Amino acid sequence: MHIKVMLKNLKLYTMYMSELALWRRITAGILLLVPWVFYMVYPAYNMAKPELGGVPFFYWFQTLWLVITAVLSLIGVLLLYPSKR
C-alpha cells in the first residue's frame, strides 16, 4: 500500500514538473547554484583588508553571502513552487 502511494505521488510530481515552465526551472537552478560556486572560490576572498567596522573582510563578506544565499534560495523555491505560497 505504501509503495502505491509513493508511486502516485511520484507520478503527480512528474506531471507537475513537466508542466512547469522551462525558464522557471533553469532560473531556479542557476539561483541555487550561484552560492555553491561562490563558496568554492573561497581563496579569492580570503583576506583581512578592507575592514568594515573593525571586522576583517573575510568575516563580513561571508556573513553578507549568508544573507544573499538565503534570498537566492527563497526566490529559487518560489520559482519552482509558485502555487505553494
The domain segmentation of the chain, as residue ranges, is 21-84
Q: What is the pTM of this model?
A: 0.64
Quick one: pLDDT at residue 58?
Answer: 79
For residue 12 the three cell numbers come to 503527480
pLDDT band at 1 (very low <50, low <70, confident <90, very high): low
Residue count of the chain: 85
Residue 55, φ and ψ in degrees, nearest 5: -95, 130
Is the pLDDT at 20 greater than 60, yes or no?
yes
pLDDT of res. 67? 93
Q: Is the peptide bond before 82 cis (omega within 30 degrees of 0)?
A: no
